[in-house]
Structure formats: structure tokens, C-alpha cells
Structure 1
């Protein structure tokens, strides 16, 4: 039962991860409207695209974004994309570990929590790293001035690794506190 609950919690975190990657909204800016009839300009950065209310979406970072002083930003942004995509690969490995534990025998269920918790911890580290890099760029890069905000994808990534942390703690505590499975067979009462 513990692994079943852990799997559902994990799948919720995976959904949050995939949504954060697919939405082009890690950082966004909306200009203040100069008049009640004019539309504000909205710009957002995703891991693989930049969207604007004026020009639509385009691949990001593009080759022209990676020259001169922008090379640092480009490298860091691509590192975020790599970490998030790598975390999806690790989530797939974690799903396989859950399947092995749930479909395996008693021994797998008693000791499999270590493999699941370890993989979840590595996924968390990747997501915390990606989230931290975006927050660092938000605070230190000149292209993000007053009015830019950390947006939905950044928040979803944060919630995703927090949900995984809860899963790690829950499975670890359950493994240490709950009694072993089928520890004894009760003797039937013959009255």
C-alpha cells in the first residue's frame, strides 16, 4: 500500500514536471498599459521558446542569442533545459523502479524503497538545480529588469520537487516504522 500511494504521489510530481517543461513561462514580463484601450505587451521565456504578444513564439535560445556577453546566459539557460529534460529521464527510471518493486516479491518490497528514494532524490537535485539557475539569472542578468517575474513553470517545478520530497520522506519513514510484511501467520481459532 505504501508503494501504491508513493507511486500516485510520484505521478502527480511527474505531471507537474512535464507541464513546467512544456509551458513557455519560466520568466515573464507584462508591460503596464498606457491607456485603457491599448493591450499590454507580454513576453515570456520557456525552456525552448520565447513568446511575445507582438511576434508570437520562436525557438529560444537562438543562435543570435549566444554571442558575446550573452554566451553566459545562453549556456546557463541551456543547462536549465538539460537538467529538466534529464530529470524526466530519471523520472522514467524511477517509474520502472516502482514497477519492479510493486510487481516483485516480498524481498523487493522490503528493500526496494532504497532504490525508489535514491532515484527520487537525484530527480529532486536536478530540479532544484534548474530552479536555482533560473532564479539566479532572474536576479543577476541585465535582460530581466523591473517588472519581470518568475512565472508558472518555475512555480510548477518548485511544487514538483517539494511533492517528491514529501514522497521521499513518507516512503523512508514508512520503511523504518511499519512492521515487515507477512511477519507471522495468525493461527486460526478452532472453536
Structure 2
């Protein structure tokens, strides 16, 4: 049965995963472009879920996808990118629900730990699935959209953080489920004799 130590390990991994999800949403570095000019100057452009930053622009960052991009035959890209932003935010909200599930199960005693693992496992799995969909859509757009065909574009740190966080959540869900079936039952119950049987 699932023990407090297993829940604690899963919670630590989950909290690390949640911080990575939040960082990936905040950092505008899902897809980046870097090139060095013949004069030795490095030019960069980074695209985040909600803003794009460029070393040549003033101000350096502006909302993304911007209006003129969405009007020039890139409506499909804009719709998909906005969907990615929505789903990433949804995964952060699911993380909050998962944290509540961890808190309720871990503070509820042995019985809750033994019976509550399916709910926590489902919540972890939902977070992982949403994150995997997010990184898959961004990877698809990176591979197939015309604006990324110029050499120099690459998937950046936010995409990597999101991939790692999804993997951690999936592994935590598998670990909790496996421990529920593979670990022996916790000690601690003292069964009372049934007075009707005596």
C-alpha cells in the first residue's frame, strides 16, 4: 500500500514540476532565433506563450501572437498558439487541484493514503497529459510553420522545462500506482475484537 514516504517523494517531484510549468509560462522562450552577424553582433528573437522579445525591437517585448501576424495568412498558427497558451494555463490550474488532492490525502491518515492514491494519480496524469499536448503542439508548429523554416530557430528552455515537468508528473503517477499494488500494508491498525463473536 502507498506510504507517507512515497507520497512525500511524489509531492516533492510534483512541486518541482509545478515550478517548471509556471516558469515555462512566464519565460518567453519556447522558440528562439539566434544569429551572429558578420560584425560579431548576436541578434536574438524569442517567442513565449504570450509575448515575443527581440534584441532589435524597442520596446524589446510585445504581446504574441501580434495582430499583423494573425492577419497575414497565419490564422491557423495564431489559433493553435493561443490554444497552447490556454492549455498551459489550464495545466497550472490542474496543478493547484492536484496540490489540494495531495494535501487532503496526506493529512487524512493511513486510511486516506491507502484509498486516496487513485485520485492523486488521476490528477497527476491529467497534468502530464495536458503538458504533453502543449509540447506536442509547439513542436508541430515549430516543424511545420513557415516562419520557423529560416535556419537559426530552435526549441528553447521553456519547451524543455515543460517536457521535463510532464515527465516528472507521469513518473510520479506511475510510482504512486505501483506502490499501491507492490508495497506491503502499513502497520498501525489494532483491530478490536467483535463483541458479537465472543
TM-score, normalised by the number of residues in structure 1: 0.92
Q: 1:161 aligns with which of 166, 178, 193?
A: 166
- Name 1:94's counterpart in structure 2: 98
Residue in structure 2 matched with residue 46 of structure 1 by the alignment = 48
Please state how far the C-alpha of 1:179 moved relative to its aligned partner: 1.5
Counterpart secondary structure, 2:118? helix
Gap runs ≥5 in structure 1: 186-191
Q: How far did residue 64 of structure 1 move?
A: 2.4
Aligned-partner Cα distance in 1 for 2:126–2:36: 41
Task: Tell me how far apart the structure 1 counterparts of residues 169 and 36 of structure 2 sit (CA, whole Å).
Answer: 37
Could you report, residue by residue, the CA deviation over 1:72-115 in whole angstroms, capped at 9, with x for unpaired residues? 00000001101100000000000000000011132211011100
**In structure 2, the residue corresponding to 1:47 is in which secondary structure?**
coil
Q: Number of paired residues?
A: 183
Query: Is there any run of 5+ residues in structure 2 with no aligned partner, and where?
Result: 191-198
Q: Residues 104 and 184 (structure 1 numbering): CA distance in 2 closer, same or farther, change over 3 Å?
A: closer
Alpha-carbon deviations, 1:95-146, whole Å to 9, x = none?
A: 0000000111322110111001101111111111110010000010000022
4+ aligned runs moved over 6 Å, structure 1? none
- 1:37-85 superposed Cα distances (whole Å, 9 cap, x missing partner): xx22100100000000011000111222222421100000001101100
Question: What is the CA RMSD across the aligned residues, in angstroms?
Answer: 1.3
Secondary structure of the corresponding residue to residue 149 of structure 1: strand
1:123 matched to 2:101: no
